[in-house]
Structures are given as structure tokens and as C-alpha cells.
Structure 1
């Protein structure tokens, strides 16, 4: 599965270069927390990339994560760990991604649950797996026409 995610990430990287119409500056960025507009959810989530919420008490794994911004294309993978059951994270993303305007285009579960979403700006893939002491969340995203 790890090789599959790496191949998937490389494919998105290649696609993002194919869609670039000019030779934009390439920049690797570290996501910053963005406040949620809704007051009742203010303390629960933030948006490290547009349209994808993350629970604030999940630990960001910077050594396993990278975002690549080329012009108005944003692609990359973010990795988080936390003390949630995989089932609760799956339910969170099934509800919240639809609330953010995403359409679920597929999912499957084994030891890892994999959710795939699309919207006019691009695609997002979410994988959730249970470790010995934590649950790991991986978000692979490819968005275009994004003003950052």
C-alpha cells in the first residue's frame, strides 16, 4: 500500500506539471493553520489546504509530509497521527468532505481505509490506518486554480 501511495503521489506530481501553462516558480510549503469561519467548530478543525478540514488535536508529521505549489496548482501529501479510532475518522471525513463541496468517487477498506473525492478544483485521497499506539491519517491532494 505504501508503494501504491508513492506511485499515486508521483502521478499527481506529473499531472500537475502537465497542467501548468507557464513556467511558474516551484515552492515547497509547510501548511499553516487557518481559522474556521463557523464559531461552533472553531476549536475543532483547521484547513492546512483549501477545502480539507483536519482535527486540531491530530499531530502533524512534517518529516513525512510535503506540499508542492507550482503557479496555481497545489499537490502533495500531509500525514497526521492521533488517538482516534479509524472508524471515527472515516465518519468525520465522509461527513465533512461533503460539507466542503467534495463528491465521494470511491472507497475501500482492509487494514487501511481509503477514500477518494473530487471537486471542480481537483482531487483528494484520504487514507486512514491504525497503528499500535495511534491512528495515521494521510491526505493526498491535487488542486488547481487555487489562489494561495
Structure 2
């Protein structure tokens, strides 16, 4: 019910969010394709990734962490929540996106309470572009991205 493939939008209701405010997530072309593909497995209603115990509940973070352990990642190397930190780091380091847009994409509030009271922007257009850029970056990494030399690196 939360995902609208026609408008490429995922609306997470307030009651599922830590800050108790609805959160809107723009969906990239790749995200839409994955959601359309998985619909054949999970159906068109309920959770995209349901719990093994009940289709009325989502898959838990612990399930994802267990999968990472089976893939050989130690808990100090990667966690399910660590993907958010990785995204934040790479989006910020790219220099392409405003910190405000990145923070809004991660559903973070402003730590400056006065600023938070007045800054209500969603940075939506930038977030739509950023979501597509992120998916394209991940595709490039999966497909063997071009490694660029560091400026001033010595040949060796």
C-alpha cells in the first residue's frame, strides 16, 4: 500500500517512523524494476520482504544481519544499518548533493532545534536526482566500475 510504482514513490506512514512523521522516498528506475520483479514472488499486497514467521510483519534487521554474517562479514565490518552510513558517507563525499538533501533522504531531523523549527524544505527535486544517481553508482560498482588514479599518485 505504501509503494506507488506509477509515481515512483514510497510513502512510509508516520507510525512506522522513529520521528513519527511520514517519510517520502523517491524510487529510481532500478528500484521500480526490482519491485516489479519481486511482485511475482511476494504478490501485490503485503510486505515486499515479509517476516519468515508472518506475512503481516516485515523481515527483521536481524535477518539481514544474519545474512551478512553468512556472507562472511563480521559485525564490525557491516550491518544492515551500516548501509545507511555507507550511503550517507558516499553521497556526502561525492560533493554532488547538499547535506540537507542527504539528511532528508535519511529521514534525519535537524539537530539545531531553532533551524529545525523554520527549515521545512524536503529538497524533493534534488532527492529524486540523488536516488537515481545512487542506483546508477551501485550498478556501476556491481558491474565493475572504472577505477580512477589518485591525482599525484606515483606509478609503481
Task: Normalising by structure 2, report the TM-score.
Answer: 0.27
Relative contact order higher in (CA < 8 Å, ≥ 6 apart): 1
| Structure with greater strand percent | 1
